[in-house]
Amino acid sequence: MASHEGKPIRVALLGCGTVGTEVVRLLTDQAADLTARVGAPVEVTGIAVRRPNKHRDVPAELLTTDAAALVASDDVDVVVEVIGGIEPARTLLLAALRAGKSVVTANKALLAEHSAELFEASDASGADLYFEAAVAGAIPLLRPLRESLAGDRITRVMGIVNGTTNFILSGMDSTGASYAETLEEATRLGYAEADPTADVDGFDAASKAAILASLAFHSRVTAADVHREGIAAVSAADIAAAKALGRTVKLLAICERVTTEGAEGISVRVHPAMIPTSHPLASVHGAFNAVFVEADAAGEMMFYGQGAGGAPTASAVLGDLVAVARNRVHRGRGPRESAYAALPVRPMGQTPTRYHISLDVADRAGVLSQVAAVFAEHDVSIAAVRQEGRVDDASLVIVTHAATDAALRSTVDKIGGLPVVREVVSVMRVEGEET
Ligand code: HSE
């Protein structure tokens, strides 16, 4: 890699939507400060877009439709990618890295599927690969995991990493409205995309969970390894049941060390869960993100802020851009892939979880013991039971101790089939409490 002492760092920008436009604006507005911080000017030499006529907020002479030629150009030292999706981003970034050009990307889907190949290309040429903006927007999270906590042993990363779903769940919690009504409102207000699938079905959060788990546990985790459940099945009854017990429902990305039959592994999952209203993540409302990290020596930490949007995401991109530019100027290098631990990802069925189960049952002698017997049969220990009698039936709420997810699911299936159970009103995992 050539030294750039004093010479401009030349940047190619791939994609110029909300985030890209903000990146160009910040680079222009803060040019003098950035030059001082980096030790050389940082200049955009080209912006690859699909439709040049659409982009009025950036200098027209920088626009091109030929992204491959821009990446290959001798006038480019760093490639910033904010296109999103797998292709053509993957091919373009591999070409950049192989040519020794540093890469800054906000592309969670790409990192969650192809990080091994990207890191390999980065290692081969010595070019940097930074991706802070891929998870939780503006919140500095990946650098703390990759660098600040590199000397510690992280045991859990648990967070709200999708603003759209958090906005919807917060809305359901405050109004008591259904999922469908709240989604409609979120779409109308522009908080949910016209096609909300990636967010509400948990794909976006699963990609982020894969990236977080890979970094936290020094292992390769891809999106396919992540157990994923979205929020479409969360009902107003679930929210009410949580409230009645001093809990709230959040879509959580959970990455944690688990021990199965003495062997260490990791659990990586995205699903709705009830957490106590006293938990720090419970007070994260609307479109905000927050991630709770636990490490042996550091203890508990919480990272909170804006997880999406043009300027917040551009802030993370700019931070990475300054880092890779400094590395080029001072002949340094950012962290490489750290996957030496190679911990296996445990299937969801083997993961210890806790369940909250709310049932409508017949109110007569022996009902509770029949229900309790099913828990005992599956070796699931009950932590708390609450029963409220009504006219001719009763509401029965059970919270379990930790058991394998498979045992809990079998328990719920069997309970649902008991003649004394009129309805399984709500079933949800419980997180953020002692087991
Ligand atoms: N769609 C994401 C969210 C932001 O709702 O949080 C980008 O990852």
163-175 and 236-244 helices, crossing angle to 10°: 70
Cα(168)–Cα(159) distance, integer angstroms: 16
Nearest of 355, 356, 360, 371 to residue 425 by alpha carbon? 360
Is 1 part of any domain? no
Question: Is the CB of 199 inside a 6 Å radius of any atom of ligand 1?
Answer: yes
Give the CATH number for residue 111: 3.40.50.720
Nearest atom (ligand 1) to Cα of 193:
1
Give yes or no: residues 174 and 122 share one domain.
no
In the three-class reduction of DSSP (H, G, I as helix; E, B as strand; rest coil), residue 10 is classed as strand
Give yes or no: residues 271 and 379 share one domain.
no
User: Which residue's CA is the nearest one to ligand 1's atom 2?
Assistant: 162
Each residue's pLDDT, cut to its tens digit, for the chain (435 residues) gives: 445 567 999 999 999 999 999 999 999 999 999 999 999 999 999 999 999 999 888 999 999 999 999 999 999 999 999 999 999 999 999 999 999 999 999 999 999 999 999 999 999 999 999 999 999 999 999 999 999 999 999 999 999 999 999 999 999 999 999 999 999 999 999 999 999 999 999 999 999 999 999 999 999 999 999 999 999 999 999 999 999 999 999 999 999 999 888 899 999 999 999 999 999 999 999 999 999 999 999 999 999 999 999 999 999 999 999 999 999 999 999 999 999 999 999 999 999 999 999 999 998 889 999 999 999 999 999 999 999 887 788 999 999 999 999 999 999 999 999 999 999 999 999 999 876
Question: Is the CB of 431 inside a 6 Å radius of any atom of ligand 1?
Answer: no
Give yes or no: residues 56 and 93 share one domain.
yes
Is 373 part of any domain? yes
Give yes or no: residues 176 and 163 share one domain.
yes
Give the CATH number for residue 171: 3.30.360.10
Give yes or no: residues 370 and 389 share one domain.
yes
Question: Is the CB of 164 inside a 6 Å radius of any atom of ligand 1?
Answer: yes
Ligand 1 pocket: which of 164, 195, 211 to mutate (most atoms <8 Å of CB)? 164
Residues 6+ apart with CB under 8 A from 413: none
Is 90 part of any domain? yes
Give yes or no: residues 400 and 417 share one domain.
yes
Is 4 part of any domain? no
> Measuring CA to CA, how many Å separate 145 from each of 99, 212, 296, 321?
28, 8, 13, 18
Give yes or no: residues 87 and 224 share one domain.
no
Place of tokens 């445990």: 346
DSSP-derived secondary structure for 233-249: T--HHHHHHHHHTTEEE
Give yes or no: residues 108 and 174 share one domain.
no
Question: Is the CB of 316 inside a 6 Å radius of any atom of ligand 1?
Answer: no
Residues 6+ apart with CB under 8 A from 432: 158, 273, 275, 276, 279, 281, 282
Cα(175)–Cα(87) distance, integer angstroms: 41
Catalytic site residue 7? no
Q: Are strands 102-105 and 42-48 parallel, antiparallel or unpaired?
A: unpaired
Catalytic residue among 101, 108, 208, 250: 208
In this structure, are residues 157 and 216 in contact, taking their beta carbons and an 8 Å threshold? Answer: yes
| 88 cis-preceded (ω within 30 degrees of 0) | yes
Give the CATH number for residue 410: 3.30.70.260
Q: Determine the longest span between alpha carbons in the chain, in angstroms.
A: 84
Please, where are the H alpha helices in 39-107? 67-72, 89-98
Amino acid in position 192: A
Which token pair is 10? 């030349």
Amino acid in position 62: L
Is 66 part of any domain? yes
In this structure, are residues 333 and 327 in contact, taking their beta carbons and an 8 Å threshold? Answer: yes
Give yes or no: residues 31 and 121 share one domain.
yes
Is 335 part of any domain? no
Question: Is the CB of 159 inside a 6 Å radius of any atom of ligand 1?
Answer: no
Number of domain units in the chain:
3
Report the 10 Å Cβ neighbour count for 198: 18
- DSSP lists the bridge partners of residue 389 as 394
In this structure, are residues 325 and 9 in contact, taking their beta carbons and an 8 Å threshold? Answer: yes
Give yes or no: residues 130 and 176 share one domain.
no
Domain interval for residue 55: 9-137+310-330
